[in-house]
Amino acid sequence: MKKHLIILFGLVALIAGSFSLSQAGSRYGSQPPAVLSPNLTSPWVLQLQGQPRARQAYVPRARRAYVPRARRSAVYSKPRYRVRRQAVRTQQRRVYRQSRRASLSQITRENRIRRAPVQLRKKPPAPKPRGKKINRELLPQVVAYSGGKKAGTLIVDTQARFLYLVMKNGSARRYGIGVGKPGFEWAGAHKISRKAEWPTWTPPKEMIAREAAKGHHIPDFMEGGPKNPLGARALYLGSTLYRIHGTNQPWTIGKAVSSGCIRMRNEDVMDLYERVRVGAQVIVS
């Protein structure tokens, strides 16, 4: 049975193949030959034959007529989106300025409220430093001298408030001094018994009692130093309690304020200390 079916299918396929071939032959067998245009074939034929190709004449292209663009109108209108954006920005600036003015006015108002009760007090003027200025006549200087005393002699003029150190060649070195206050003046001639740098001070009992009656307390003893009333140097006069010494109150030079001693500026007494020797004569008038 199977063999019969195979044979049957084979016959059917053979008949179908023969029919399709006959149809194909009838379709393509009667077609006309293809004909190409001589304009297309001539360049290729010339190229195959090796003949040069004829050049075609150059025909320039016709220029296009220039048509000017229409000019814009004198009044330019912005696009709508730009107009809208400009309006938004203007509104934003206006709001910002208003808020800034309001904030500044608020700050100013608050500052006025805060500062209203405050009253600035003027600082009192600073006290003028004492002893900064001194009369130029009281500063050391060399002057003429014709008193007849030998060089190295010290002459104290309590009335003029000057101390003279006699020098050679008719000259003397003059210093400004402070002298004893009324009731403590004295005069006489003595010799320098000793010299001391930054001397100690032991005030006499009479001075301690006298100052205590005024309400001032004076120590029984004071070491040498800048706060010591005897200053930087001291020249002791014989066996008396009087001295030529410096002071920690330079503004008193030229005045009668001491208890009988001759006081000088520290700078001046240091200079005098180096110029005189122990045993030099001192004349107080």
Q: Is 261 a catalytic residue?
A: yes
**Tens digits of residue pLDDT in 68-98:** 766 555 555 556 666 677 777 888 888 878 7
* Class of the CATH domain delimited by 136-284: mainly beta
CA distance 32 to 30: 7
**Tens digits of residue pLDDT in 243-266:** 999 999 999 999 999 989 999 999
Q: With a cut of 70, say whether residue 171 has pLDDT above it.
A: yes
Phi, psi of 96 (to 5 degrees): -65, -45
Buried b (16+ CB within 10 A) or exposed e, 131-166: eeeeeeebebeeeebeeeeeeebbbbebeebbbbbb
Domain segments of the chain: what residues? Answer: 136-284
At residue 128's C-alpha, the angle toward residues 125 and 129, to 5°, is: 140
**Catalytic one among 4, 190, 216, 245?**
245
| More confident site: 19 or 277 | 277
Q: With a cut of 60, say whether residue 18 has pLDDT above it.
A: no
Euclidean distance between the first and the last CA atom of the chain, given in angstroms as a whole number: 182
Q: Is 245 a catalytic residue?
A: yes
Buried b (16+ CB within 10 A) or exposed e, 101-111: eeeeeeeeeee
pLDDT band for 54, please (50, 70, 90 cuts). Answer: low
Which ranges of the chain does DSSP label H, i.e. alpha helix? 2-28, 38-49, 80-115, 205-213, 266-275
- Bridge partners of 243? 236
Report the 10 Å Cβ neighbour count for 203. Answer: 17
